[in-house]
Amino acid sequence: MDQNIIDLLQDKMEIIAFNEEQNLSLVGPVKLPVQLDDQVVTFQWYTWLPINKNETKEEVLRSLPALDLADYQQSSVLVYGDFASEENALIRMHSICHTGDIFGSKRCDCGYQLKESMRMIVENGNGALFYLANHEGRGIGLFTKSLAYLLQENGFDTVEANLALDFPDDLRSYEAPLKVLQFLRQKPVKLITNNPKKLEALKKLGLTAEENVPLWGDVSSYNENYLKTKVNKSGHIPLKNTVTI
Protein backbone atom coordinates (compact mmCIF):
# COMPACT_ATOMS: atom_id res chain seq x y z
CA MET A 1 0.00 0.00 0.00
CA ASP A 2 1.33 3.41 -0.96
CA GLN A 3 2.45 5.54 1.98
CA ASN A 4 0.32 8.49 0.82
CA ILE A 5 -2.77 6.27 1.01
CA ILE A 6 -1.77 5.11 4.49
CA ASP A 7 -1.24 8.68 5.67
CA LEU A 8 -4.65 9.73 4.32
CA LEU A 9 -6.55 6.83 5.92
CA GLN A 10 -4.79 6.97 9.28
CA ASP A 11 -6.40 10.35 9.92
CA LYS A 12 -9.81 8.65 9.83
CA MET A 13 -8.85 5.84 12.24
CA GLU A 14 -8.82 5.65 16.02
CA ILE A 15 -7.42 2.97 18.33
CA ILE A 16 -9.72 2.26 21.30
CA ALA A 17 -8.57 0.24 24.31
CA PHE A 18 -10.72 -2.88 24.64
CA ASN A 19 -9.31 -5.63 26.86
CA GLU A 20 -5.99 -7.10 27.95
CA GLU A 21 -5.32 -8.76 24.59
CA GLN A 22 -7.08 -6.57 22.02
CA ASN A 23 -7.85 -3.03 20.98
CA LEU A 24 -10.50 -1.87 18.54
CA SER A 25 -9.63 -0.08 15.31
CA LEU A 26 -12.45 2.38 14.61
CA VAL A 27 -12.84 3.87 11.13
CA GLY A 28 -14.96 6.92 10.37
CA PRO A 29 -16.93 9.02 10.10
CA VAL A 30 -18.02 8.23 6.55
CA LYS A 31 -20.90 10.29 5.14
CA LEU A 32 -23.67 7.82 4.31
CA PRO A 33 -26.82 9.12 2.61
CA VAL A 34 -29.65 6.69 3.35
CA GLN A 35 -33.10 6.46 1.76
CA LEU A 36 -35.48 6.49 4.72
CA ASP A 37 -39.11 6.44 3.60
CA ASP A 38 -39.60 9.47 1.33
CA GLN A 39 -36.43 11.32 2.32
CA VAL A 40 -32.67 10.93 2.09
CA VAL A 41 -31.03 11.18 5.49
CA THR A 42 -27.27 11.54 5.91
CA PHE A 43 -25.77 9.49 8.73
CA GLN A 44 -22.18 9.34 9.87
CA TRP A 45 -21.02 5.73 9.52
CA TYR A 46 -18.31 4.06 11.59
CA THR A 47 -17.10 0.47 11.63
CA TRP A 48 -14.62 -1.30 13.87
CA LEU A 49 -12.32 -4.29 13.95
CA PRO A 50 -10.65 -6.10 16.87
CA ILE A 51 -6.86 -5.88 16.53
CA ASN A 52 -3.83 -7.02 18.50
CA LYS A 53 -3.02 -4.94 21.55
CA ASN A 54 0.14 -3.32 20.19
CA GLU A 55 -0.90 -3.11 16.54
CA THR A 56 -0.59 0.32 14.93
CA LYS A 57 -2.90 1.95 12.41
CA GLU A 58 -0.36 1.45 9.65
CA GLU A 59 0.03 -2.22 10.54
CA VAL A 60 -3.74 -2.67 10.41
CA LEU A 61 -3.90 -1.12 6.94
CA ARG A 62 -1.00 -3.17 5.60
CA SER A 63 -2.49 -6.40 6.97
CA LEU A 64 -5.89 -6.02 5.25
CA PRO A 65 -5.20 -8.19 2.15
CA ALA A 66 -4.32 -11.14 4.40
CA LEU A 67 -7.28 -10.87 6.79
CA ASP A 68 -10.04 -12.31 4.56
CA LEU A 69 -12.52 -9.88 6.11
CA ALA A 70 -15.19 -10.81 3.56
CA ASP A 71 -15.38 -14.27 5.17
CA TYR A 72 -16.98 -12.83 8.27
CA GLN A 73 -18.98 -9.71 8.99
CA GLN A 74 -17.93 -6.66 10.95
CA SER A 75 -20.18 -4.53 13.12
CA SER A 76 -20.80 -0.83 12.55
CA VAL A 77 -22.78 2.15 13.78
CA LEU A 78 -24.86 4.87 12.12
CA VAL A 79 -24.63 8.19 13.97
CA TYR A 80 -27.09 11.04 13.44
CA GLY A 81 -26.91 14.66 14.51
CA ASP A 82 -24.62 16.06 17.19
CA PHE A 83 -24.46 12.76 19.00
CA ALA A 84 -21.53 13.68 21.23
CA SER A 85 -23.02 16.86 22.69
CA GLU A 86 -26.81 16.95 22.48
CA GLU A 87 -29.04 15.83 25.32
CA ASN A 88 -31.58 12.97 25.17
CA ALA A 89 -29.75 10.85 22.63
CA LEU A 90 -31.40 7.62 21.49
CA ILE A 91 -29.39 4.50 20.75
CA ARG A 92 -30.34 1.09 19.41
CA MET A 93 -28.18 -2.01 19.82
CA HIS A 94 -29.58 -3.93 16.84
CA SER A 95 -28.69 -7.59 16.40
CA ILE A 96 -28.20 -8.56 12.76
CA CYS A 97 -31.11 -10.53 11.32
CA HIS A 98 -30.29 -11.76 7.82
CA THR A 99 -33.83 -12.99 7.20
CA GLY A 100 -35.67 -10.02 8.71
CA ASP A 101 -33.40 -7.10 7.85
CA ILE A 102 -32.53 -8.16 4.30
CA PHE A 103 -35.34 -10.42 3.09
CA GLY A 104 -38.17 -8.81 5.08
CA SER A 105 -39.14 -12.04 6.85
CA LYS A 106 -42.35 -11.85 8.84
CA ARG A 107 -41.26 -14.58 11.26
CA CYS A 108 -39.77 -11.85 13.47
CA ASP A 109 -40.07 -8.09 13.97
CA CYS A 110 -36.37 -7.32 13.36
CA GLY A 111 -36.70 -5.60 9.99
CA TYR A 112 -39.42 -3.36 11.37
CA GLN A 113 -37.35 -2.54 14.45
CA LEU A 114 -34.31 -1.66 12.33
CA LYS A 115 -36.15 0.88 10.18
CA GLU A 116 -38.31 2.21 13.01
CA SER A 117 -35.22 2.80 15.17
CA MET A 118 -33.68 4.86 12.36
CA ARG A 119 -36.89 6.88 12.08
CA MET A 120 -36.99 7.45 15.85
CA ILE A 121 -33.36 8.61 15.91
CA VAL A 122 -33.89 11.05 13.04
CA GLU A 123 -37.11 12.42 14.59
CA ASN A 124 -35.26 12.81 17.90
CA GLY A 125 -32.57 14.89 16.21
CA ASN A 126 -29.61 12.77 17.31
CA GLY A 127 -28.69 9.21 18.17
CA ALA A 128 -26.88 6.10 17.04
CA LEU A 129 -27.87 2.72 15.67
CA PHE A 130 -25.34 -0.04 16.32
CA TYR A 131 -25.60 -2.94 13.86
CA LEU A 132 -24.04 -5.95 15.55
CA ALA A 133 -22.83 -8.56 13.09
CA ASN A 134 -22.09 -11.47 15.41
CA HIS A 135 -25.57 -11.51 16.96
CA GLU A 136 -27.45 -13.57 14.34
CA GLY A 137 -30.01 -15.81 16.06
CA ARG A 138 -29.03 -14.33 19.45
CA GLY A 139 -25.45 -15.37 18.73
CA ILE A 140 -25.79 -18.88 17.25
CA GLY A 141 -25.10 -17.84 13.63
CA LEU A 142 -27.08 -17.95 10.42
CA PHE A 143 -26.60 -21.65 9.58
CA THR A 144 -27.65 -22.72 13.07
CA LYS A 145 -30.54 -20.27 12.97
CA SER A 146 -31.91 -22.10 9.94
CA LEU A 147 -31.90 -25.31 11.98
CA ALA A 148 -33.64 -23.51 14.85
CA TYR A 149 -36.31 -22.34 12.41
CA LEU A 150 -36.91 -25.93 11.34
CA LEU A 151 -37.39 -26.89 14.97
CA GLN A 152 -39.82 -23.98 15.39
CA GLU A 153 -41.83 -25.37 12.47
CA ASN A 154 -42.10 -28.56 14.50
CA GLY A 155 -43.51 -27.01 17.65
CA PHE A 156 -40.50 -25.52 19.46
CA ASP A 157 -40.51 -21.86 20.45
CA THR A 158 -37.49 -19.67 19.75
CA VAL A 159 -35.93 -20.26 23.18
CA GLU A 160 -36.56 -24.02 23.16
CA ALA A 161 -35.04 -24.33 19.69
CA ASN A 162 -31.72 -22.77 20.73
CA LEU A 163 -31.58 -24.95 23.84
CA ALA A 164 -32.39 -28.09 21.82
CA LEU A 165 -29.36 -27.35 19.60
CA ASP A 166 -27.17 -27.29 22.74
CA PHE A 167 -26.79 -23.51 22.76
CA PRO A 168 -27.71 -21.12 25.56
CA ASP A 169 -30.78 -19.03 24.92
CA ASP A 170 -28.63 -15.92 24.31
CA LEU A 171 -24.93 -15.72 23.42
CA ARG A 172 -24.76 -12.05 22.47
CA SER A 173 -21.95 -9.84 23.76
CA TYR A 174 -22.05 -6.05 23.99
CA GLU A 175 -18.58 -5.19 25.30
CA ALA A 176 -17.11 -3.98 21.99
CA PRO A 177 -20.05 -1.77 20.91
CA LEU A 178 -20.15 -0.24 24.39
CA LYS A 179 -16.48 0.73 24.07
CA VAL A 180 -17.28 2.39 20.74
CA LEU A 181 -20.31 4.14 22.25
CA GLN A 182 -18.22 5.47 25.14
CA PHE A 183 -15.68 6.81 22.66
CA LEU A 184 -18.36 8.59 20.62
CA ARG A 185 -20.39 9.97 23.54
CA GLN A 186 -19.82 10.56 27.25
CA LYS A 187 -23.32 11.75 28.14
CA PRO A 188 -26.24 9.46 29.10
CA VAL A 189 -28.43 7.86 26.44
CA LYS A 190 -31.86 6.29 26.11
CA LEU A 191 -31.87 2.70 24.86
CA ILE A 192 -34.41 1.70 22.22
CA THR A 193 -35.49 -1.78 23.30
CA ASN A 194 -38.55 -3.71 24.44
CA ASN A 195 -36.49 -5.54 27.04
CA PRO A 196 -35.76 -3.78 30.37
CA LYS A 197 -33.49 -6.73 31.29
CA LYS A 198 -31.29 -5.81 28.34
CA LEU A 199 -31.02 -2.26 29.67
CA GLU A 200 -30.01 -3.51 33.10
CA ALA A 201 -27.45 -5.93 31.65
CA LEU A 202 -25.90 -3.17 29.55
CA LYS A 203 -25.80 -0.81 32.53
CA LYS A 204 -23.81 -3.41 34.46
CA LEU A 205 -21.28 -3.36 31.60
CA GLY A 206 -20.96 0.41 31.81
CA LEU A 207 -23.81 1.85 29.74
CA THR A 208 -24.86 5.27 31.03
CA ALA A 209 -28.62 5.12 30.55
CA GLU A 210 -31.65 5.49 32.75
CA GLU A 211 -34.53 4.23 30.64
CA ASN A 212 -35.57 2.12 27.70
CA VAL A 213 -37.83 3.30 24.87
CA PRO A 214 -40.07 0.51 23.49
CA LEU A 215 -40.80 -0.02 19.79
CA TRP A 216 -43.43 -2.71 19.40
CA GLY A 217 -45.07 -3.12 16.01
CA ASP A 218 -45.45 -5.26 12.89
CA VAL A 219 -47.35 -7.95 14.80
CA SER A 220 -48.90 -10.61 12.57
CA SER A 221 -50.02 -14.23 12.58
CA TYR A 222 -46.52 -15.12 11.32
CA ASN A 223 -44.65 -13.81 14.38
CA GLU A 224 -47.28 -13.84 17.13
CA ASN A 225 -45.82 -16.89 18.91
CA TYR A 226 -42.30 -15.51 18.54
CA LEU A 227 -43.33 -12.24 20.20
CA LYS A 228 -45.25 -14.07 22.93
CA THR A 229 -42.09 -16.02 23.73
CA LYS A 230 -40.13 -12.78 23.99
CA VAL A 231 -42.61 -11.50 26.56
CA ASN A 232 -43.08 -14.74 28.50
CA LYS A 233 -39.50 -16.07 28.52
CA SER A 234 -37.13 -13.19 27.71
CA GLY A 235 -38.54 -10.41 29.86
CA HIS A 236 -39.91 -8.18 27.09
CA ILE A 237 -42.71 -5.87 28.12
CA PRO A 238 -45.23 -4.76 25.48
CA LEU A 239 -46.08 -1.10 25.23
CA LYS A 240 -49.64 -0.67 26.47
CA ASN A 241 -52.24 0.49 23.98
CA THR A 242 -49.91 -0.32 21.09
CA VAL A 243 -49.99 -4.10 20.78
CA THR A 244 -51.77 -6.95 22.48
CA ILE A 245 -49.93 -10.27 22.56
Active site residues: 170, 172
Pick the closest to residue 116 from 139, 103, 100, 132 (CA basis).
Answer: 100
